[in-house]
Amino acid sequence: MAAVYNLFIITKSGGLIFYKGYAKFLRMDTNDSLRLASLWDSMHAISQQLSPTIGCLGIELLQADNFDLHCFQSLIGTPFLDDV
């Protein structure tokens, strides 16, 4: 089972509401967390518009070599991001 290193809560308009870093070696400063939230919101919105699937909810998982970034979209539209 993988551990959660960071948790982000983003508004529908792309602003960062909450950020918590749980790993001592992977802490981000305020500017980096704001940039990540803004970048994620933009990529999420673009993926919804470009998807060939009707009713696509956008990116749910972004996999990289060192981490996986998961997006959980709430019923009211607020995304929760965590990296594992």
Residue 1: the pLDDT is 56
* Domains by residue range for the chain, with CATH: 6-83 (3.30.450.70)
Contacting residues for 18 by C-beta, under 8 A, at least 6 apart: 7, 8, 9
Strand partners, 19: 8
For 24-80, the pLDDT digits (tens) are 776 778 888 888 888 888 888 888 889 888 888 888 888 888 878 888 888 887 888
Distance, in Å, from the CA atom of 78 to the CA atom of 10, rounded to the nearest integer, reads: 6
Q: Work out the number of other CB atoms within 10 angstroms of the CB of residue 47.
A: 14
Radius of gyration of the chain, Cα coordinates, nearest whole angstrom: 13
Distance, in Å, from the CA atom of 66 to the CA atom of 63, rounded to the nearest integer, reads: 8
pLDDT exceeds 70 at position 13: yes
